[in-house]
């Protein structure tokens, strides 16, 4: 066949993709771990012939220091004009024990979620077999656990009216949910369950809270549109207990902002450490990817933060926002390979870890990057054979 000007010769290479990614390091160890997440994305671009245009922006304490605003307009404009965001964390000790400070880093985070319409926070809780011993839960209870949390992100007490009464001795935060907010996240949870084990557990406190009764009613209604997915409901207190008693009993969990915040930190113990858990915040526009941990003042600047949650967040970014599943799987396999080789950061090391296998943040990032090359070339060889 003759090749015309419009036709390309056949090639084994995948179509090159150009994508804009904003790196939003934030504060504390956010900066340290996103450096490694970005390194992994750069290597993926090189290995798979993509062009990733990186841009960076400030948020949180750093942004307050520079501009007086925890989410400057310039940052927001960059976030609205990209394909995906890799975020670190916000927070600084200065604010944690001083409630009188009116401008706070977390305001930047909440405003960003609202402005970008990021209403669903996905938190995959999956234990790498190599880390079975790192958890405080017995290996026989943990093995095979694979939970996908959907935490609602733009409603609940975090966004309801809040304040102090005149006497200053009474404070309130309104727990509030609207039907559409529950509907849209419930749909996301049921749709995800269809690609997994077809089970949704909705967590609420419907025995005492009116907002939870609305939550349950709406989830039941939405559930009728997914007759192939089993639905059950649990009260949050019972769920907190069952989550570590029998984590394998869960597939997809959907819950509100406050309960999700607490339960997913608890669930981090299933994955061994806070430093292992990635998350994706999505809505109808750009997606934001971040570790579930905070800025960790206690270890900031020591170079010992585990970057794997940020690296696994980069994998979610590739998969969900950029539609690059093979690239995302390459990252996950590279992380698995590093763990299989016995390398650990301090937070996931145990008594059996040899001293020379305990890596700092940069060394762990470098190990993953090295493995990426090996995993990708193995995959290419398998395709060519």
Could you give the residue numbers annotated as active site?
A: 158, 205, 237, 261, 265
Which CB sits closer to ligand NAD, 89 or 331? Answer: 89
Residue 142 to residues 8, 136, 353: CA-CA distances in angstroms?
50, 10, 20
- The residue within the footprint of ligand NAD, chosen from 64, 109, 339, 368 (CB under 6 A), is 109
Does residue number 294 form part of the binding site for ligand NAD (CB under 6 A)? yes
- The residue within the footprint of ligand NAD, chosen from 86, 271, 282, 296 (CB under 6 A), is 296
Instruction: Tell me, by CB under 6 A, how many residues bind ligand NAD.
Output: 21
Single out the segment in contact with ligand NAD by CB under 6 A; choices: 3-11, 88-96, 129-137, 207-215.
88-96
Does residue number 272 form part of the binding site for ligand NAD (CB under 6 A)? no
How many Cβ atoms are within 10 Å of 117's Cβ, its own excluded? 16
Which CB sits closer to ligand NAD, 277 or 328? Answer: 277
Report CA torsion sign: 319, 323, 324, 326: positive
Supply the Cα-derived Rg of the chain in whole angstroms.
Answer: 22
CB of 199 to ligand NAD, least distance (A): 28
Does residue number 266 form part of the binding site for ligand NAD (CB under 6 A)? no
Which CB sits closer to ligand NAD, 243 or 296? Answer: 296
CB of 73 to ligand NAD, least distance (A): 20
Per-residue tokens: 276: 């292992």
Does residue number 86 form part of the binding site for ligand NAD (CB under 6 A)? no
Which CB sits closer to ligand NAD, 73 or 298? Answer: 298
Which CB sits closer to ligand NAD, 286 or 299? Answer: 299
- The residue within the footprint of ligand NAD, chosen from 50, 293, 344, 371 (CB under 6 A), is 293
Give the three-class secondary structure for 17: coil
CB of 242 to ligand NAD, least distance (A): 24
CA gap 355, 321 in Å, rounded: 38
Residue 297 to residues 90, 99, 206, 231, 287: CA-CA distances in angstroms?
10, 18, 36, 40, 26
- The residue within the footprint of ligand NAD, chosen from 63, 90, 116, 258 (CB under 6 A), is 90
Does residue number 91 form part of the binding site for ligand NAD (CB under 6 A)? yes
Length reported for the chain:
385
Quote the strand ranges of the chain, DSSP E.
18-26, 51-56, 84-89, 120-126, 146-152, 162-164, 171-173, 199-204, 230-235, 252-255, 278-282, 287-291
Contact predicate 239/260, CB 8 Å: no
Does residue number 275 form part of the binding site for ligand NAD (CB under 6 A)? yes
- The residue within the footprint of ligand NAD, chosen from 297, 353, 360, 373 (CB under 6 A), is 297
Which CB sits closer to ligand NAD, 83 or 96? Answer: 96
CA gap 190, 219 in Å, rounded: 10
Does residue number 222 form part of the binding site for ligand NAD (CB under 6 A)? no
CB of 8 to ligand NAD, least distance (A): 44
Contact predicate 327/52, CB 8 Å: no
Interacting residues with ligand NAD between 22 and 51 (CB under 6 A): 29, 33
How many Cβ atoms are within 10 Å of 235's Cβ, its own excluded? 16
H or E segment and range at residue 236: helix 236-245
CB of 72 to ligand NAD, least distance (A): 17
| Cα angle 358-319-24, degrees, rounded to a multiple of 5 | 65
Contact predicate 115/279, CB 8 Å: no
The b/e string for 187-219 (b: 16+ C-beta within 10 A; e otherwise) is ebbbebbeeeeeebbbbbbbeebebbebbbebb
Single out the segment in contact with ligand NAD by CB under 6 A; choices: 121-129, 227-235, 292-300, 363-371.
292-300
Does residue number 309 form part of the binding site for ligand NAD (CB under 6 A)? yes
- The residue within the footprint of ligand NAD, chosen from 215, 347, 349, 368 (CB under 6 A), is 347
Per-residue tokens: 290: 């971040």
Residues that bind ligand NAD (CB under 6 A): 29, 33, 89-91, 96, 106, 109, 274-275, 293-299, 305-306, 309, 347
């Amino acid at each position: 066949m003759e090749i015309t000007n419009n036709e390309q010769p056949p090639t084994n290479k995948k179509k090159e993709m150009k994508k804009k990614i904003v790196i939003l390091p934030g504060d504390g160890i956010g900066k340290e771990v996103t450096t490694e997440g970005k390194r992994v994305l750069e290597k993926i671009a090189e290995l798979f012939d993509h062009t990733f245009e990186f841009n960076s922006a400030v948020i949180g304490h750093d942004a307050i220091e520079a501009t007086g605003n925890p989410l400057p307009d310039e940052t927001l404009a960059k976030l609205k004009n990209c394909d995906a965001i890799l975020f670190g964390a916000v927070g600084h000790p200065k604010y944690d024990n001083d409630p009188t400070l009116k401008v706070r880093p977390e305001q930047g985070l909440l405003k960003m979620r609202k402005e970008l319409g990021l209403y669903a926070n996905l938190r995959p809780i999956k234990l790498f077999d190599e880390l079975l011993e790192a958890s405080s839960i017995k290996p026989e209870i943990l093995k095979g656990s694979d939970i996908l949390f959907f935490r609602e992100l733009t409603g609940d007490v975090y966004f309801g009216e809040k304040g102090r009464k005149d006497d200053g001795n009474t404070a309130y935060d309104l727990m509030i949910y609207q039907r559409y907010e529950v509907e849209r996240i419930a749909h996301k949870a049921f749709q995800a369950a269809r690609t997994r084990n077809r089970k949704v557990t909705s967590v609420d406190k419907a025995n005492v809270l009116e907002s939870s009764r609305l939550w349950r009613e709406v989830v039941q209604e939405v559930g009728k549109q997914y007759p192939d997915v089993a639905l059950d409901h649990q009260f949050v207190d019972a769920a907190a207990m069952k989550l570590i008693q029998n984590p394998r009993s869960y597939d997809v969990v959907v819950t509100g902002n406050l309960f999700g915040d607490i339960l997913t930190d608890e669930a981090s113990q299933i994955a061994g450490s806070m430093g292992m858990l990635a998350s994706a915040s999505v809505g109808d526009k750009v997606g934001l990817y971040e570790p579930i941990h905070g800025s960790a003042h206690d270890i900031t600047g020591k170079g010992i933060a585990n970057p794997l949650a940020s690296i696994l967040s980069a994998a979610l970014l590739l998969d969900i926002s950029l539609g690059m599943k093979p690239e995302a799987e390459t990252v996950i396999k590279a992380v698995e390979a590093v763990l299989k080789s016995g390398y650990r950061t301090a937070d996931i090391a145990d008594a059996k870890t040899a001293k020379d296998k305990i890596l700092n943040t940069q060394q762990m990032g470098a190990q993953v990057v090295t493995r990426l090359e090996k995993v990708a070339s193995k995959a290419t060889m398998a395709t060519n054979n």
